Amino acid sequence: MDGNFNENDLSRVVEADRANVWHHLIQHQPFFTGADPKIIIEGKGLRVWDQKGIEHIDAVSGGVWTVNVGYGRESMGDAVRDAIVKMNFFGGTVGSIPGALFAEKLLTKMPGLDRVYYANSGSEANEKAFKMVRQIAHKRYGGKKHKILYRDRDYHGTTIACLSAGGQDERNAQYGPYTPGFIRVPHCLEYRKHEQEGAPEQNYGEWAANQIEEIILREGPDTVGALCLEPITAGGGVIEAPEGYWPRVAEICKKYDILLHIDEVVCGVGRTGTWFGYQHYGIQPDMVTMAKGVASGYAAISCLATTEAVFDMFKDDTSDHLNYFRDISTFGGCTAGPAAALENMRIIEDENLLENTTAMGDYMLGKLGELKDKHAVIGDVRGKGLFLGAELVKDRESRDPADEKMVQAVVGDCMKQAVVIGATNRSLPGKNNTLCFSPALIATKDDIDQICAAVDGALTRVFG
């Protein structure tokens, strides 16, 4: 990218955007009182260029933890093009070459899981899982075991059913009433355990998992069909469960015959240095959903992987004319998605990106730790692989969250330095105070140094 744009053409694009496009997640009024919408027009590696030709380093992989293999990959474009020219679409009752081959390859990375159901987005994959839980409840338990547990601060998508499973009250606000049968369990953020009644000094992870059991007992185990959790909470503040949590969660699910659904929409396909986030914790889920990094944003694809046991429940009784998963998404599993996903996986393998993610994640965690030593406003640094967060507080003693406007000012200052970082935003009332980092898995030490230097400068300017 050389920054040589035709200014006239681009100003026309800006005006077309301002006049016609309704963007995701933002208030548009500023575009009518002087500000221009940002248009990203090109990307290469970790860099993107905007309409003014300004080169940015992207520390959040397309804003939302997605472009795992980086921008501008010709082989990804070729894979999509070749697939759609040969066969662009046929409905999902039949198979396709990329669909079959990607499912086969994906399952080699997920021992214990045996089937792949294709969809378009993370929300949609989660909806499929919820529908399966409900159908299993109807078929096997007279409809009773239909409740789905979800965790405070987790997010599972944008549809009404996904918001019903959403642990972020500010994100949910004004979109109710919600779907019945979704029950909240407490978060497991040790840094904020002082806000949780009864949380112990020692063995917090086990205690947090035991809170789930208490809710199951309160609801009645025969009414609970599934527990849906992010392996590491993303938009809720980059929260890795403390030691002792996951083994206890697995034990509880087994004890009460509850399906464990892990939402890998963010962590899936390399983000934390393993193929999937849950693989750090030695657990065996029954259902895993994934989306963003599956094809790094080169094509729309999401997947729900299940065990053979779950799959069997939808094929074991052919005398029942309703005993199969009666679900379709027109575009789910279209050839472009799995073709891009196959190439994405090849790149991660051939370029050793899991190893790079672990090494660069450790490096960045160290760098953020140095920033914590320097800036009292950083209360906690956490995460795994290239999926990291820094929680900002008014005061380390009280851990009161930093003013959200100042947190956003840090993001804005970085943007002025042409470094794109993220922060929890309008998700958790009063607690949108965590800076988020998720550069592409190809990040180098130089990239990380540049990102952290920008954050350092921004923290100094905003907080002194």
Assess 235 for contact with ligand PLP (CB under 6 A).
yes
Closer by beta carbon to ligand PLP, 263 or else 391? 263
Q: DSSP for 373-425?
A: HH-TTEEEEEEETTEEEEEEBS-TTT-PBPPHHHHHHHHHHHHHTTEE-EE--
- What residues pair up with 50 in beta bridges, in sequence order? 40
Assess 284 for contact with ligand PLP (CB under 6 A).
no
Distance between CA atoms of residues 112 and 281, nearest Å: 15
3-state SS class at 148: strand
Distance between CA atoms of residues 164 and 149, nearest Å: 10
Please give the angle made by the CA atoms of 210, 245 and 270, to the nearest 5 degrees: 145
Q: Which of 75, 158, 179, 223 binds ligand PLP (CB under 6 A)?
A: 158
Helix (H) or strand (E) holding 461: helix 445-463
Q: Could you tell me the CA-to-CA distances from 180 to 148, 160, 258 in Å, in that order?
A: 10, 11, 18
Q: Which of 113, 212, 228, 265 binds ligand PLP (CB under 6 A)?
A: 265
- φ/ψ of 236, rounded to 5, equals -85, 5
Assess 458 for contact with ligand PLP (CB under 6 A).
no
Assess 414 for contact with ligand PLP (CB under 6 A).
no
CB of 122 to ligand PLP, least distance (A): 2
Per CB under 6 A, which of residues 57..96 are in contact with ligand PLP?
Answer: 64
Stretch that binds ligand PLP, among 206-214, 230-238, 304-312, 363-371 (CB under 6 A): 230-238
Assess 157 for contact with ligand PLP (CB under 6 A).
yes
Listed residue (377, 401, 378) closest to 389, CA to CA: 378
Assess 423 for contact with ligand PLP (CB under 6 A).
no
Assess 187 for contact with ligand PLP (CB under 6 A).
no
Q: Which two tokens stand for residue 208?
A: 């947090």
Assess 263 for contact with ligand PLP (CB under 6 A).
yes
CB of 400 to ligand PLP, least distance (A): 26
* Dihedral sign (CA 268, 271, 274, 278): negative
Q: How many CB atoms neighbour CB 191 within 10 A?
A: 17
CA end-to-end distance (rounded Å), the chain: 36
Assess 244 for contact with ligand PLP (CB under 6 A).
no
Stretch that binds ligand PLP, among 260-268, 279-287, 327-335, 369-377 (CB under 6 A): 260-268
Assess 230 for contact with ligand PLP (CB under 6 A).
yes
Distance between CA atoms of residues 215 and 249, nearest Å: 13
CB of 66 to ligand PLP, least distance (A): 9
Assess 164 for contact with ligand PLP (CB under 6 A).
no
Distance between CA atoms of residues 86 and 336, nearest Å: 10
Assess 424 for contact with ligand PLP (CB under 6 A).
no
Q: Could you tell me the CA-to-CA distances from 70 to 85, 344, 346, 420 in Å, in that order?
A: 24, 10, 14, 14
Closer by beta carbon to ligand PLP, 129 or else 402? 129
Q: DSSP for 27-85?
A: --GGGGTTPPPP-EEEEEBTEEEETT--EEEETTIIIII--TT-B--HHHHHHHHHHHH
Strand residues in 214-344 grouped as ranges (E): 224-229, 232-233, 239-240, 259-263, 287-290, 302-306
Stretch that binds ligand PLP, among 174-182, 259-267, 384-392, 435-443 (CB under 6 A): 259-267
Stretch that binds ligand PLP, among 47-55, 127-135, 153-161, 198-206 (CB under 6 A): 153-161
Helix (H) or strand (E) holding 8: helix 7-20
Q: Which of 43, 45, 62, 122 binds ligand PLP (CB under 6 A)?
A: 122
Closer by beta carbon to ligand PLP, 283 or else 377? 283
Q: Which of 5, 117, 130, 155 binds ligand PLP (CB under 6 A)?
A: 155
Per CB under 6 A, which of residues 289..328 are in contact with ligand PLP?
Answer: 291
Q: Which of 96, 123, 164, 168 binds ligand PLP (CB under 6 A)?
A: 123
100: left (phi over 0), alpha (psi -120 to 50) or beta: alpha
Q: Please list the alpha-helical segments (H only) found in 231-290.
A: 245-255
Closer by beta carbon to ligand PLP, 119 or else 462? 119
- What residues pair up with 56 in beta bridges, in sequence order? 48
Place of tokens 């990218």: 1
Closer by beta carbon to ligand PLP, 213 or else 240? 240
Closer by beta carbon to ligand PLP, 157 or else 181? 157
Closer by beta carbon to ligand PLP, 50 or else 263? 263
How many residues at the interface with ligand PLP, by CB under 6 A?
A: 16
Assess 121 for contact with ligand PLP (CB under 6 A).
yes
CB of 102 to ligand PLP, least distance (A): 18
Residue, CB closest to ligand PLP: 122
Closer by beta carbon to ligand PLP, 264 or else 447? 264
Closer by beta carbon to ligand PLP, 232 or else 462? 232
Residue ranges that bind ligand PLP, judged by CB under 6 A:
64, 121-123, 126, 155-158, 230, 234-235, 263, 265-266, 291
